[in-house]
Structure 1
Amino acid sequence: MSPRALEILKRLIAFDTVSSEPNMALIEYVRELLASKGIESLIVKDETGKKANLFASTGPRDVPGVLLSGHTDVVPAAGQAWTMPPFQATLRDGRIYGRGTCDMKGFIALAIDAMLNAADMPLMRPLQLALSHDEEIGCVGVRRLLDVLHLAPVRPFLCVVGEPTLMQFAVGHKGKASYRTFCRGQEAHSSLAPRAVNAIHLASDFIAELRKSQKQIEQQGARDEGYDIPYSTLHIGRIDGGKALNIVPNLCTMEFEFRNLPGDNPDLLLEQLRERAEVLVREARQLSGVADIEIEVMNEYPALETHPSVEAVRMLHAFAEPGTQHIKVSYGTEGGLFAGRLNVPVVVCGPGSIEQAHKPDEFIDESQMDAGERFLQSLLGSLKQ
């Protein structure tokens, strides 16, 4: 890894860009760094003005280029058992420690360094950089940037999302839809419980329906053996209800998610679940007229499926190191949004392992940074005249 790339990574780690915090200081640092080489940046802020996306391009403007994409936000370090400062890069035993080293400021540092190198080269295709905010809380921020890029007269012919894949080519990932459910009943004294609709009981009946749906998906649904878990999954993560033991609860809320294979439609699942919920509500209302189940969509992002035979993907193999494979991952990225909004082939490929992400003492191996740098150098070389 070049000294400049390492210095950029150190600076990036020093910015506390936990999703709950602003990222403007980091964005301004990157903008100024690119401007030092004459590269202009487009800044797309959120509604508060405290967070922003960045888009930059160097090279010809009238032909499609390669877009390098990364998110600037990180998950919190507070409450984790770190043994070294999370927002200070620490080099030790061939590793670089710090929050975001792996997910995914390591790649961003390499991408910025590649942009600075590209500014000094005659290119036949542009190299582009997209940095987003709030990816960790549902790929929220990048959507505003895509609304702008969608209107551009020339779009990229390839997007590389640099999430940690150990430099393997991830050509598919699952989508995700998260839901909040409000189960409503009738408040009463617990001695009269049989006469009232218990919202927690209603929620438990709905949970049973969710588990039935999961079994049906496992046994009868689509499968893709390219994934560690080869089918779509339903997961209930939070539930809250009741005020006191001697009060029949009138409200129980729960949150669940659906991680879907590219071929499975979350909207269809939601329609089926609402139909099942209506059956439960009709039954509950026979006891009391006060009963309801409301399901709201909290957030969703699409799955990604890029065919390995696409020309842009085949081109990447010229730069791949021995042992590089096509893989599919169960976690989500912004890749599905780029593919859908810009109609561009997307490959998820970056240094580091997802096994190190979101953990205390997060790190990336220097050897992975070296591999990522070689990959981007080769990619940049293919864009030269």
Structure 2
Amino acid sequence: METGKILERLIAFPSVFTSEDYTAITDYAISLLAPLGIACHRIEAPGGGRAGLFAATGPAGPGGIMLSAHLDVVPVTGQSWQTDPFVATERDGRIFGRGTSDMKGFAAAAIRAMANASRRRLAQPIKLALSYDEEAGCVGISQMVSSLEKTIGLPDLCVVGEPTGMQIVTGHKGKVSRRIEFRGSAGHSAGAPGHVNALHLACDLVSALRVMQEGIAAKGPRAEGYGVPYSTIHVGSLKGGGALNMIPETATLEFEIRHLAEEDIDGLLHRIDALAAQIAGKARDTRPEAAVQITEFNRYPGFDIAPGPETELLAALGAHLPAGKVDYGTDGGVIAAQGIPVLVCGPGDISRAHRADEYVTNAELSECDAFLERLTEKLETGLPVTRPTSPPA
């Protein structure tokens, strides 16, 4: 079973996270593993249309190491690809296709490692987590994780194979995403002073968020190792208005906060809620129907692990030091919240992700294969890692 061949098949599944149904890619992974006697637990999404997988080989129960990957990818709409994004195309030592770096390359290598390990006598198990809808904000693993202990058992360590160039990553930020809808009053633009323009209310909040961001950058918690060493507030969408001569009755903005573990995220959100309420309250002096509604539609935790035996283990297996941190999110934060030590390390480069002509190199896949082979050999003799007895409070 070759990583390149598995990757070719994985790329052929257009498992875009916005698709109605992409369960076929999970079923393909199961079709490779189950016939080898590997315990496979298919986790159906609550709404259907996608499925995850927990799998294990070796001694049953807790312990061992779990490899983690997501099978979904971002859309290709509007991107100018030189090749079909859902056909793995090899050229000059590079394999092009959507998800090659992020992160079907690691998924393919992990499936191969599981297959090879199934023929070995392991002292501790090797486990696999394949999630869905990671690109929607770690939605899949959040829905799956409650089944982890009762299916394959909690591992001693989880390696999330996001594209780090095989560098060891010891932490990433958490994220909260919210939608804020302001309501003003409809009317003709000629009478604008007597109405409340909902777009103006939303823009007032955007201005306040920018001031808040400046304060966080200047005086907020900082953590070295990140590209941006403080929490960030980002407004990514602002919609409202239908015609130039109509006063916008509603306006909706969406923002995210990517926060450090040290950040008081609930305190920060409370401040934003208070600002939005203050803006809407002032507008009611002009029109009593002015209002604001706030909806949180995604949240996942970050994680931060101090360098120690886990990083030493991965380095001994061929992963790269010095250890670093990343500003983007992974399934690792959700897994770490279960009390499981997590490190991020995988082939490819995040700078190639979400872009046209995404690729991973054959050399990167070979390096990952060698790393996972050494990991399997280590599991034959056992690991110097102790499983936590309970999740953190």
Which interval holds the TM-score relative to the shorter structure?
A: over 0.9
Q: Give the corresponding residue for 1:203.
A: 202
- SS across alignment from 1:49: coil
- SS across alignment from 1:156: coil
- SS across alignment from 2:36: coil
Given the two structures, how large is their TM-score scaled by the length of structure 1?
0.95
Once residues 86 and 210 of structure 1 are traced to their aligned partners in structure 2, the CA distance between those partners, rounded to angstroms, is 38
Deviations along 1:30-68, whole A, 9 cap, x unmatched?
111112211121001113432100110000013401000
Which of 325, 328, 338 lines up with 1:328 in the alignment?
325
* Kept after mapping to 1: 8 A contact 2:177/2:255: yes
* Kept after mapping to 2: 8 A contact 1:4/1:113: yes
Aligned pairs, number: 380
Once residues 237 and 48 of structure 2 are traced to their aligned partners in structure 1, the CA distance between those partners, rounded to angstroms, is 31
* Kept after mapping to 1: 8 A contact 2:259/2:265: yes
Q: Give the corresponding residue for 2:340.
A: 344
Once residues 160 and 269 of structure 2 are traced to their aligned partners in structure 1, the CA distance between those partners, rounded to angstroms, is 29
Query: Which residue type is aligned with residue 3 of structure 2?
Result: A
Query: Which residue type is aligned with residue 343 of structure 1?
Result: G
Query: Which residue type is aligned with residue 236 of structure 1?
Result: V
Q: Give the corresponding residue for 2:2.
A: 4
Q: Give the corresponding residue for 1:367.
A: 363
Alignment of 1:17-166 (within 5 A): 17-21=15-19, 22-151=21-150, 154-166=153-165
Query: Which residue type is aligned with residue 346 of structure 1?
Result: V
* Kept after mapping to 2: 8 A contact 1:178/1:257: yes
Gapped runs of 5+ residues in structure 2?
382-393
* Kept after mapping to 1: 8 A contact 2:332/2:344: yes
Q: Give the corresponding residue for 2:350.
A: 354
Q: Give the corresponding residue for 2:221.
A: 222
The alpha-carbon deviation at position 218 of structure 1 amounts to: 0.7
Once residues 235 and 143 of structure 2 are traced to their aligned partners in structure 1, the CA distance between those partners, rounded to angstroms, is 29
Once residues 153 and 37 of structure 2 are traced to their aligned partners in structure 1, the CA distance between those partners, rounded to angstroms, is 21
* Kept after mapping to 2: 8 A contact 1:31/1:40: no
Query: Which residue type is aligned with residue 142 of structure 1?
Result: I
Once superposed, which parts of structure 1, at least 4 consecutive aligned residues long, lie more than 4 Å away?
A: 150-153
The alpha-carbon deviation at position 154 of structure 1 amounts to: 3.8
* Kept after mapping to 1: 8 A contact 2:56/2:152: no
The alpha-carbon deviation at position 140 of structure 1 amounts to: 1.0
**What is the percent sequence identity of the aligned residues?**
44
Once residues 254 and 96 of structure 1 are traced to their aligned partners in structure 2, the CA distance between those partners, rounded to angstroms, is 38
* Kept after mapping to 2: 8 A contact 1:262/1:303: yes
* Kept after mapping to 1: 8 A contact 2:68/2:160: yes
Query: Which residue type is aligned with residue 256 of structure 2?
Result: E
* Kept after mapping to 2: 8 A contact 1:157/1:312: no
Given the two structures, how large is their TM-score scaled by the length of structure 2?
0.93
